[in-house]
Structure 1
Amino acid sequence: MTEIAEHHGTLLLADDDASFRQRLAVTLGRRGFAVTTAASLAEARAAAAPLKPDFAVLDLRLGDGNGLEMVGELRAMRPDIRIVMLTGYGNLATAVAAVKEGAADYLAKPADPEDIISALLATSGERPEPPTEPMSADRVRWEHIQRVYELCDRNVSETARRLKMHRRTLQRILAKRSPK
């Protein structure tokens, strides 16, 4: 006998990483959300208009634009929507921008589905728990490199020049997964 999950409402999930989007959609569906997925900003806009979702999980970087653009649009459709931003390229500036636009939370990928669900279901004004462990020095360095790489429009040569680093060294760092 299967346990029936509590129904939480409609959810728009926009992420261009197909496997991550699929896994997260299944998990959120099992937890009581009626999930509609989108792989791009255009698909998300098309799905959001008739759906007017209760919740949204948006990737910051979508193939055809910035998920941050959707926050204001979704808030205009439904002022009480709970939005969680996800990104693999987290930095303080985009986190602040997301919250100012009206996102309830901002999580770094790969985000744990339980953290996403907690952020979606948190009551207004509820603050997330502070991290139990600070970022490692390797992680801080990696975040800085990612931020400069994004500022240089993902140009490896320009990023290496700004960081005063050999281009091949930078390519090796960028090819690795983020440190914990």
Structure 2
Amino acid sequence: MKDLKNMRAFIVDDDPFWTAILQQLLEGMGFSKISTFESGEACLENIHLNPALIFLDYQMGKANGLDVLQQVKSYYPGIEVVFCTALEDLEVAISAIEFGSAEYLLKANATEDTLSEIIESFQKTQTI
């Protein structure tokens, strides 16, 4: 079983406030290799850093999160993606899951406990 906390995590979001909160929560959980990006394009340009986990926003500048999610999963299907959004949109949630997101996290519901549950569920399904 791989320990995701010792592996690289990406936060891809154009909201610096949300990014800071999520980064602080992850660091509090023991994550030490966190890279942040303000756009999907920047994430894809750095995907060679081989993140184990990506927290991906839906609404960003030029590319939306669904487009980025499809590109990530088509080339790197083993990366766990948590789709993060402030929108409660069932169609977006269904699309995110269909395109390979393992979780759909409403930003308003993001707590350390919620994130811990997500990370633990990923770790239970991973093997090395």
TM score, norm. by length of structure 2: 0.80
Larger Rg: 1
Structure 1 counterpart of 2:34, which letter?
A: V
Q: 2:17 aligns with which of 19, 25, 34?
A: 19
For residues 154-169 of structure 1, the aligned pairs below 5 Å read: none
Unaligned stretches of 5+ residues in structure 1: 1-5, 127-180
**Paired residue for 1:103?**
101
**Paired residue for 2:46?**
47
Identical aligned residues as a percent: 25
Structure 2 counterpart of 1:78, which letter?
A: Y
- For these two proteins, the number of residue pairs brought into alignment is 120
Distance 2:59 2:86 in 1: 8
**Paired residue for 1:132?**
none
* Contact map agreement 2:80 2:122 (CA 8 A) in 1: no
* Contact map agreement 1:84 1:120 (CA 8 A) in 2: no
Report the CA distance between 1:125 and its aligned residue.
9.2
Report the CA distance between 1:43 and its aligned residue.
1.5
Report the CA distance between 1:120 and its aligned residue.
3.4
Report the CA distance between 1:119 and its aligned residue.
1.8
**Paired residue for 1:90?**
88
Structure 2 counterpart of 1:53, which letter?
A: P
Distance 1:39 1:57 in 2: 12
**Root mean square deviation of aligned Cα:** 2.2
TM score, norm. by length of structure 1: 0.59
Report the CA distance between 1:94 and its aligned residue.
0.5
